[in-house]
């Protein structure tokens, strides 16, 4: 890619992403913005899960009242809820131009927004098992990309992300059942031979970008009093043709909706890929 085409990153940063499958934009979101995001979501959650916004069940599981995630389940697609304060805030950051310019440089083309999520991950919360995002989004051709905004400082103790570098070149793999005592999600992937997991040590305001085929997960939050909050958005390349229906409508960074063909059939894993909702 010609340096003159880059909007935000250096050629070296783009090369790192294509080699390793991920890139961390340090301090992309300011401390003041992080504080606003944190306070807005905590205020939204002060009285417990919000109907239609909070994920109160996962697959066939209902969160146990003793589970910290019962009190603080993740919020799915908050940008679709203008009736709540988190709605326009999520839309604002999902379409933030700093994130859009970074994605443009990593994709080499215009990105399109597909999803927003907010994870609270309170003390005692289980982790998320290893998986690939494009198993769920089913972007074709190409793959999705995540922009993972750290709203707290993140390390192994409070449940930070783990990525498995260089796995972006793998096809979508078919998961097995995860251990529900350790992880709150249903799907598990083994780390390929010769690959290793790398913990992402992040400061609040850092943004982790990673390819949709990169195998990743998160540690449990074993801290006594530290949340590991994050605002996560998923994107697709403008050149893609199809995407799972769970992620529509899609948006350009100017806020205009975009139509893509709905992915059909069982996907590369056949009937087992009967995803029951957005990832």
* SS3 annotation, 73-104: CCEECHHHCCCCCHHHHHHHHHCCHHHHHHHH
Mean of all residue pLDDT scores within the chain: 93
- Identify the residue whose tokens are 């999705």: 144
pLDDT band at 99 (very low <50, low <70, confident <90, very high): very high
pLDDT at 2 over 50: no
Q: Is the pLDDT at 200 greater than 80, yes or no?
A: yes
| Residue predicted with more confidence, 123 or 4 | 123
Contact 194, 129 (CB under 8 A): no
Domain 15-272: top CATH class: mainly beta
More confident residue, 8 or 64: 8
| CA 35 to chain CA centroid, nearest Å | 20
> How far apart are the C-alpha atoms of 87 and 81, rounded to whole Å?
5
In angstroms, the CA 214 to CA 46 distance is 34
Lowest mean pLDDT among 61-65, 168-172, 246-250: 61-65
β-pair type (242-243, 261-262)? parallel
pLDDT at res. 258: 96
Q: What is the mean pLDDT of residues 178-185?
A: 90
pTM, whole model, 2 decimals? 0.94
251 neighbors 94 (Cβ within 8 angstroms): yes
Give, to the nearest 10 degrees, the angle between helix 31-44 and helix 86-94.
Answer: 140
Give the least confident one: 20-24, 60-64, 244-248: 60-64
Nearest-angstrom CA–CA distance, 10 and 1: 10
> Residue 249 pLDDT more than 80?
yes
Task: Give the mean model confidence (pLDDT) for residues 247-267.
Answer: 92
The pLDDT value recorded for residue 80 is 98
pLDDT of residue 39: 99
The pLDDT of residue 269 is 80
Token digits of residue 136: 């769920």
């Amino acid at each position: 890619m010609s340096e003159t085409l880059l909007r935000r990153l250096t050629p070296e940063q783009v090369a790192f992403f294509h080699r390793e499958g991920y890139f961390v934009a340090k301090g992309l979101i300011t401390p003041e913005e992080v504080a606003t995001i944190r306070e807005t979501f905590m205020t939204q959650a002060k009285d417990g899960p919000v109907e239609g916004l909070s994920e109160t069940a996962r697959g066939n599981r209902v969160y146990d009242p003793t589970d910290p995630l019962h009190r603080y389940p993740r919020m799915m697609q908050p940008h679709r809820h203008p009736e709540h304060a988190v709605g326009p805030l999520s839309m604002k950051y999902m379409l933030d131009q700093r994130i859009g310019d970074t994605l443009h440089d990593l994709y080499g083309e215009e990105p399109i927004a597909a999803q927003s999520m907010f994870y609270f991950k309170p003390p005692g919360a289980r982790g998320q098992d290893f998986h690939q995002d494009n198993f769920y989004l089913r972007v074709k051709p190409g793959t999705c990309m995540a922009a993972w905004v750290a709203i707290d400082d993140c390390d192994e103790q409070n449940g930070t992300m783990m990525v498995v570098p260089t796995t972006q070149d793998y096809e979508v793999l078919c998961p097995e059942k995860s251990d529900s005592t350790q992880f709150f999600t249903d799907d598990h992937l083994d780390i390929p031979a010769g690959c290793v997991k790398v913990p992402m040590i992040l400061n609040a305001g850092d943004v982790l970008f990673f390819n949709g085929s990169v195998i990743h997960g998160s540690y449990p939050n074993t801290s006594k009093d530290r949340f590991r909050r994050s605002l996560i958005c998923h994107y697709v390349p403008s050149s893609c043709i199809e995407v799972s229906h769970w992620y529509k409508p899609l948006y350009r960074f100017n806020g205009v909706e975009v139509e893509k063909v709905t992915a059909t059939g069982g996907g590369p894993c056949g009937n087992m890929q009967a995803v029951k909702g957005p990832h």
